[in-house]
Chains A and B, each alone.
Chain A
Amino acid sequence: MIYNPQIEQMPRDELKKLQSALLIKQVERMYERVECFRNRMDLNGVKPSHIKSIDDLHLLPFSYKKDLRDYYPYGLFAEPMENIVRLHASSGTTGKQIVVGYTRNDLDNWSGTIARSLSAAGADKNTFLQNAFGYGFFTGGLGIHDGATKIGATLIPIAAGNTQRQITTMVDFGSTMITCTPSYAMYLAEAIEEMGVRDKIKLKAGIFGAEPWSEDMRHAIESKLGIKAYDIYGLSEIQGPGVAYECEYQCGMHICEDLFVAEIIDPDTGEVLPEGSTGELVFTTLAKEGFPVIRYRTRDICSLIYEPCRCGRTHIRMNKPTGRSDDMLIIRGVNVFPSQIEEVLLKVGGDITPNYQIIVDRVNNTDTFDINVEMSDAFLHDEVRSIERLEKSIVDELRSVLGIGVKVHLVNPKSITRSEGKAKRVIDNRKI
């Protein structure tokens, strides 16, 4: 079902007019209110008056994840805090978290995009929606939550984890739709099989996101759970989930183009690439009030689909991101940068960064996350418990920075493979 036909099926020339009007307004507003944006505009000699339509988007400066750290916590907000009604936070590229803020209108637009996403996956007021995304700073839980309420579904805000309870709830409450990460969906599917309750569950569909997954994984989830598995895209810097979502044809995710404009650029030169090219995805928020961004570099590599979709929605689609233009890893749905790990090791090791290697794998549909740390003088002690205390402080510190658990292994010096003198920092053995 199409939740908002007027917007989702808006003829493209009208959509373009809407985008142009919103962009002009957004640029004027941000030039006035966001120092970082104004400085970059001035540096490039671009004035808000130069922006006459969406076609002028390429004149505007890029913005980066690093900006959120440099202007932490509220330096990029375009509204006074009295108008901010919600904060969400996620991990930055270093130990410091990043924070975004929403006005009432922002939350309303956000839940609107989730309402579109849920409707596209067949949800309505008769749906029992088991929301197994994490609640809290993570945008997944509360994002889906508000959208589900908007369409009047019966929301089951179970949050992430506790598989036994997830399945019992699914059976007892008669959940017909589930939202979680794709790897957790696989995990649940296997647990359901083991418990032999497959015939007791009423699930018809699931919406999965927050980590990369493949078509093979989709097919596995669909056949194991007997459901249709839909993809959803988002990032907290833009809004959270609902920036783009799949329709019943499952052929790319429709971008909510009335709110977000997508571009594909060459990550090295910054040049906008021709339609259909694969490159880095860049987003501009047209209607965001609290935390608007212009040409935000998502670092996700993907392509856009301009051909009309059979579903009748006029908004373009994006293919699943196939990689990153930076070294970010997504582990159990959490963004992890090697630089964050480096910072923790530096802190714990007393100003010396030991050689380390991150090893990521997927075992029983759960990501494993191990860090090998080369033993050094700074870490050696004649008492085992002192070394263990040190290992524990690395694990604890990483958990507090990243929000996920990690196993630390002390290994011999020089045992981490080096190529051309540089240690290979990340080994990702996951076959997604």
Chain B
Amino acid sequence: MFVKQLTIFVENKFGRIADILDILGKNHIDIRALSIADTSEYGLMRMIVSDPSAAKTLLREAGIIVKITDAIAVPLDHTPGGLSRIMEILRGGGISVSYLYAFVGMYGNDAVVVLKTDKPEETVTLLSQNGITPLGNV
């Protein structure tokens, strides 16, 4: 079970992030989780939003390069050691993390970690075996 994540190319240019967020805000797209990967030349904005395909269309119309990719959204206890437990499970299963970002209150009061691994299908199976069900889009 995967969650649809937006990946947006952010050119290294003043005000670029503001432009993107402005489009989403004006169109009532709710951002549930967000991270920005910065490189020396450009940024990559990844986000989980209320309506990924509408957001994609809107951004694309504005000439922004955007892609929908699958990620895994894992709910976890918002207590010390919560994320650590998930990582231990992945380590035990020989799974490597490509990136992750964590959010509190994404779907309520719980914490959620959005992650991408080298073996997405195996990750979902392994987590399920450990009683953790990844979230879909809500």
11 CB contacts below 8 A, A to B, read A379-B65, A380-B7, A380-B65, A381-B7, A381-B67, A383-B99, A383-B116, A384-B99, A385-B98, A411-B11, A413-B64
Q: Which of A341-395 contact B (CB under 8 A)?
A: 375-377, 379-385, 387-388
With A377-B67, A382-B69: A410-B42 Cβ-Cβ less than 8 Å: yes
Contact: B9 with A375, CB < 8 Å? yes
Which secondary structure dominates where chain A touches chain B? loop
With A383-B98, A383-B99: A415-B67 Cβ-Cβ less than 8 Å: no
Question: What is the minimal beta-carbon distance from B59 to any residue of chain A, in angstroms?
Answer: 11
5 additional contacts (CB under 8 A) given A375-B11, A380-B7, A384-B39: A381-B67, A382-B99, A384-B44, A409-B41, A410-B41
The residues of A with any CB-CB pair to B shorter than 8 Å are: 375-377, 379-385, 387-388, 409-415
Specify which of A382, A385, A409 is in contact with B46 (CB 8 Å cutoff): A382
Question: What is the minimal beta-carbon distance from A409 to any residue of chain B, in angstroms?
Answer: 6
Complex CA–CA separation, A345 to B66 (angstroms): 20
- CB neighbours (8 Å) of B63 from chain A are 412-414
Specify which of A380, A385, A388 is in contact with B9 (CB 8 Å cutoff): A380
User: Is B123 at the interface (CB under 8 A from chain A)?
Assistant: no
Contact: A387 with B65, CB < 8 Å? no
Number of contacts between A and B (CB, 8 Å)? 52
Q: Which residue of A lies closest to B68 (CB)?
A: A382
Q: Which of B53-69 contact A (CB under 8 A)?
A: 63-67, 69
Query: Quick one: which of B44, B65, B66 has the most chain A CB within 10 A?
Result: B65
- CB neighbours (8 Å) of A409 from chain B are 41
Q: Which residue of B lies closest to A415 (CB)?
A: B11
User: Is B26 at the interface (CB under 8 A from chain A)?
Assistant: no
Complex CA–CA separation, A411 to B13 (angstroms): 10
- CB neighbours (8 Å) of A411 from chain B are 11
Question: What is the minimal beta-carbon distance from A406 to any residue of chain B, in angstroms?
Answer: 14
Question: What is the minimal beta-carbon distance from B35 to any residue of chain A, in angstroms?
Answer: 11
Complex CA–CA separation, A92 to B67 (angstroms): 37
Specify which of B7, B39, B41, B65 is in contact with A382 (CB 8 Å cutoff): B7
Question: What is the minimal beta-carbon distance from B1 to any residue of chain A, in angstroms?
Answer: 18
Contact: B65 with A375, CB < 8 Å? yes
- CB neighbours (8 Å) of A377 from chain B are 65, 67
Q: Which residue of B lies closest to A384 (CB)?
A: B37
Complex CA–CA separation, A415 to B42 (angstroms): 14
